Amino acid sequence: MKLVVVSAGLSVPSSTRLLADRLAAATAGRTSAEIQVVELRDLAVEIAHNFTNGFPGRSLAAALDAVTEADGLIVVTPVFSASYSGLFKSFFDVLEKDALAGKPVLIAATGGSARHSLVLEHALRPLFAYLRAVVVPTGVYAASEDWGAEGLPERIERAADELAALMTGLTATKPAAKAKPDDFEVVPFADQLAALSRPSPSGV
């Protein structure tokens, strides 16, 4: 099982990467998943070139493949102008349009103020719903004052529980489809229409 973490933090060290690592550790502890981290900061130039020439560079292509093949995703962005960062959005803009369909995704963000916590609901959740991902109910936002305070560890654990449940559920063996009864006959739709067009025996 593979868990891919997409971090859009720009600084080193980064609170965005710190939150991503805590979410990944909590999820991996519940699934024994292999973790791979994609640092978008290192891919910024290749993402820009992809927009202008239509081809991903080697590192970007590897990151896109990792996201596409993952059993689950954790995506974390810093907040810029009350939304996700441009680098974060650009990465998902160059991803194949069906790459996230049905994939479990945990959304998270970091910011300087708790006032930006709604970025999860008005920006991140709609983006991944549009990409047809399965977004876990609990998103995790960490403001500067949340680090070391009560509440954040509990939100991380709850979100990790939800992502792990989706990942293990989707990779479990699916039950075999029920066989149709032997006496069940499928009548082609054209035959059904022809039968309706025939006059009734009474001539009515």
Distance (Å, whole) CA 19 – CA 8: 11
pLDDT tens-digit profile of 55-77? Answer: 999 999 999 999 999 999 999 99
CA distance readout (Å), 77 to 3, 45, 118, 120:
17, 18, 13, 10
Tell if the pTM clears 0.85, that is, is over it.
Answer: no
- What is the per-residue pLDDT across 131-163, written as a single tens digit (0 to 9) for each? 999 999 999 999 988 888 788 999 999 999 999
Question: What would the pLDDT profile of 66-125 be if each residue is shown by its tens digit?
Answer: 999 999 999 999 999 889 999 999 999 999 989 999 999 999 999 988 888 899 999 999
Task: Pick the closest to residue 16 from 102, 124, 103 (CA basis).
Answer: 124
